[in-house]
Structure 1
């Protein structure tokens, strides 16, 4: 395929503009460092807690409206085996933001945490917090791979540019401005990127709907002869478990993303953080509608009337690239170039957030808290920047190997949903949780999820749940195994914490068995200088630090 030179020039100009804005924002960040009461590293991680509501809503929405969201939603609607009912991104993310605003924004922001892992560090100490970083880091790397794979596929179709070159250039631009300006560069570039996504995708919609190769989507909502079913899709009873599992994964798994709390913690107050979440719930839904329409249009198109020809994309195994294919073959050339720009913008708006979130957690909760407690601010800023580069390189490398954007999008949240979400709920809302319960829940969630297998990563299942099927030689679980792992982990944290506390406080378990040093008896009269009440049991102090 020949390179689309005008389109390539347009995309390069767009990248230069984004990079320029990122550099400008990095200078603004340096000015804030001089006037902000917080440390320089906190300015990089949470913007000095001075991000206003409008900018907060833009950057919150842009983080979730990434390449996986845009292309994954279109892929789900178009795919003959799925349909609109399986396009879970828009409704799931609305639920995610509403729950975040209602139950997580206030307890996180009111205590002035810097990262999502801070509450764990304060209650459980450094050792357990370090173990939580691993699934969070793996999830972020998979997310980077997901959104870069989406961009690589889009550019190869519309611009005729090598997928590898597209991935490398896009990753480099995101890494550079995130490296330079931290959250300020991320937030201000997000404004431009989200605006561009909104305008370009909605501009493509009428041209797609009016294309001569497309049947009116209102006529194919019930049955489409091309794909042999409705683009609305259907939910069979035997598929209900898988559908519920994936919906809950997207709706609740997002509550365990550091990228969410980076925006919550950058707000000036708890109330402002909640408003940001609620407003983002509306904007993220609006941003998903064009992808739904594009998927429906692609399912209703007669591809034989286009230069693409037959067989249709899903028969060629290109359902994951349906959005760029629709833009390229069903709209004018200049519009398809805008479309590639929108995907590029979506990729960078998510990638920069993921890079910064991983770098923030490692710097704040591992390097500063454990490895180098006396590290200077200059050293911490350097660690943030190096971490940004390393996570970006890891995600970019993985992006070359994956074609299914929707599948990688789901897997990126698996570990967070099964392992970190139950821990976060307990540490924020259950005062009874202790280190013994947290470690037990962590192991149970990780073990159940690992033993369930993952076809996308080539991991065979060792546990076969009811309803499993073999599809193209690969075992697929239709039981809600992720949700089972999450609930089992949550139950384990609560149960073990309660039993252990009960055992030590009532002296059912010898104090010498407290290997983690979580519990210690309270000295009565000597420490409190208060005479003990006759018949009163000895009190038990919960010393949660490891």
Structure 2
């Protein structure tokens, strides 16, 4: 099959527009001389307009493709991402956004570093890095496959091109480029998906999707209630402990604006995903026998391709290409956030605190750019050469939920806890999650939770259990060690958090001084 020339031209124009916007935004945005280079690059000088911030939160989910797949393969009752992210963003705004912004933190690891010290933060960073890298790799892989289907270009070329454009503008402008390209990307997403709906719904091979409601709504088996609840809690609370979220709420001008950003962004994200829900429903009702596929993507085990295949088969070629631009925009908006988030945490929380405490602003900026290049390139290589990217991402996202969230909760709300409790909580959460196994990557279970079944696996809400247990371990071990210190059984000099706290706080105190605190 020949290359779709029209599609290729449209996509190249789209990439050029995104790149130009990212570069121009970085060049034109003037930063106050009162902010440090790290504040400028990580949180846009804390001067991000609230409206722009709402655009960035709305677009940052990158779950457009996945929602259509879930509707078509599992049904609406098991498509937990839209409402989970909606509730998660609201909870993040109410419980964390204002507190974090009012303390002038730069990353979500700052409160952990302030309370628990450098050693624990390095361990938490590794978990967060896994989540970012495998999330980016999974969506890059999906985008590359979509481009190869509709435009008929090689998979590797599609992935590398999309990745390269994203890495370049993120290296040049950091948070400013990410924020303003998100505006353009949101316009592409909205226009592309909304434009495609009338053509899809009026196609003669689609029919009335309400007649197939039983299929795309799905069924709920009470015997799987534990799995459903576990996934819903993980999807909801797991939305919070990501730097890609916090780099937005920490970039606005006040804690109140950070809360508004989260709540309005949550509502916008749910509205934005409606076209994906409809497209997923269409996939279950359409007559695929009259298409070039001959049968449905679900029967061909191509559920992840539902959205691009619906666009390709039930809309005119030009509309399909524009819709594909929407998919590209969603992926790029998620990728730039992920690679910026991981590189920011490495530069500020790891490099500047552990390796080069006296590093200059210029040095830190270059380290951040190198880290962006490294993280983006790593995700790109994994998306091309690792065949089970999505399965690894599921495990990594779970680890972020069961590891990072408990640490964040305790560092923000239980500041009297210590590094002993944090380390124990970390290790317990890893063991409990890994012990549950992960079928998508053939990781066998060695902990058999209640209601375990050989065929259906873990029916117990093990993710939620691991998270709650981790919080309890942090709290209980901290209480015990604090008490034993008071009665002289443990010498204070062996307290890891005490030993590291002075170094960990130096950069934060500097920022608070600059901001007049």
TM-score by length of 2: 0.94
CA deviation vs aligned residue, 1:165-186 (integer Å, no higher than 9, x gap): 1110000000000000000000
Partner of 1:22: 22
2:265 paired with 1:266: no
Partner of 1:251: 236
Query: Cα 1:169–1:256, aligned 2, differ >3 Å: closer, same or farther?
Result: same
* 2:213 partner SS: coil
**Greater helix share, structure number:** 2
CA deviation vs aligned residue, 1:469-501 (integer Å, no higher than 9, x gap): 445xxx732321111111110111111111222
- Structure with max Cα Rg: 1
> Contact between 1:43 and 1:49, CA under 8 Å: does it hold in 2?
yes
Within 5 A, what are the aligned runs for 1:314-329? 314-329=298-313
* 2:211 partner SS: coil
2:100 paired with 1:100: no
Query: Cα 1:490–1:513, aligned 2, differ >3 Å: closer, same or farther?
Result: same
Cα distance in 1 for residues equivalent to 2:163 and 2:414: 40
Cα distance in 1 for residues equivalent to 2:372 and 2:474: 32
Deviation at 1:18, TM superposition (A): 0.5
Partner of 1:534: none
Partner of 1:7: 7
Within 5 A, what are the aligned runs for 1:195-210? 195-210=187-202
Q: Point out the more displaced range, 35-44 or 461-470.
A: 461-470
Within 5 A, what are the aligned runs for 1:175-214? 175-214=167-206
> Contact between 2:429 and 2:469, CA under 8 Å: does it hold in 1?
yes
CA deviation vs aligned residue, 1:357-400 (integer Å, no higher than 9, x gap): 00100000011111001111111000000000111111112212
Query: Cα 1:160–1:518, aligned 2, differ >3 Å: closer, same or farther?
Result: closer
Deviation at 1:465, TM superposition (A): 2.3
Deviation at 1:238, TM superposition (A): 1.7
TM-score by length of 1: 0.89
Query: Cα 1:58–1:20, aligned 2, differ >3 Å: closer, same or farther?
Result: same
Partner of 1:88: 80
> Contact between 1:96 and 1:254, CA under 8 Å: does it hold in 2?
yes
Partner of 1:532: none
> Contact between 1:320 and 1:403, CA under 8 Å: does it hold in 2?
no
Cα distance in 2 for residues equivalent to 1:9 and 1:545: 50
Deviation at 1:464, TM superposition (A): 2.2
Within 5 A, what are the aligned runs for 1:414-453? 414-453=398-437
Within 5 A, what are the aligned runs for 1:53-64? 53-64=50-61
* 2:108 partner SS: coil
Higher relative contact order (CA 8 A, sep 6+): 2
Deviation at 1:457, TM superposition (A): 3.0
Query: Cα 1:372–1:231, aligned 2, differ >3 Å: closer, same or farther?
Result: same
* 1:256 partner SS: coil
* 2:273 partner SS: helix
> Contact between 2:420 and 2:477, CA under 8 Å: does it hold in 1?
yes
Pairing partner for 1:132 from 105, 124, 145: 124
Query: Cα 1:518–1:296, aligned 2, differ >3 Å: closer, same or farther?
Result: closer
Deviation at 1:404, TM superposition (A): 7.6
> Contact between 2:84 and 2:235, CA under 8 Å: does it hold in 1?
yes
Partner of 2:510: none
Backbone CA RMSD of aligned residues: 2.0
Query: Cα 1:209–1:500, aligned 2, differ >3 Å: closer, same or farther?
Result: same
Partner of 1:502: 483
> Contact between 2:41 and 2:173, CA under 8 Å: does it hold in 1?
yes
- Structure 1 runs of 4+ aligned residues shifted over 4 Å read 401-409, 517-520, 542-546
Cα distance in 2 for residues equivalent to 1:390 and 1:406: 20
Gaps of at least 5 residues in structure 1 are 223-229, 521-541
Deviation at 1:325, TM superposition (A): 0.6
Cα distance in 2 for residues equivalent to 1:317 and 1:250: 24
Deviation at 1:28, TM superposition (A): 2.4
Cα distance in 2 for residues equivalent to 1:122 and 1:245: 31
Cα distance in 1 for residues equivalent to 2:254 and 2:43: 13
Gaps of at least 5 residues in structure 2 are 506-517
Query: Cα 1:36–1:266, aligned 2, differ >3 Å: closer, same or farther?
Result: farther
CA deviation vs aligned residue, 1:319-350 (integer Å, no higher than 9, x gap): 11111111101111111101110011111111
Partner of 1:167: 159
2:196 paired with 1:215: no
Partner of 1:479: 460
2:37 paired with 1:37: no
> Contact between 1:84 and 1:233, CA under 8 Å: does it hold in 2?
yes
Deviation at 1:243, TM superposition (A): 1.4
Partner of 1:378: 362
Partner of 2:260: 275
Deviation at 1:503, TM superposition (A): 2.5
Partner of 2:513: none
Partner of 2:494: 515
CA deviation vs aligned residue, 1:183-235 (integer Å, no higher than 9, x gap): 0000000000011101110111121111111131111113xxxxxxx210011
> Contact between 1:252 and 1:417, CA under 8 Å: does it hold in 2?
yes
Partner of 1:48: 45
Partner of 1:348: 332
* 1:197 partner SS: helix
Cα distance in 2 for residues equivalent to 1:50 and 1:335: 37
* 1:478 partner SS: coil
Deviation at 1:307, TM superposition (A): 2.1
Cα distance in 2 for residues equivalent to 1:155 and 1:290: 19
> Contact between 1:238 and 1:467, CA under 8 Å: does it hold in 2?
no
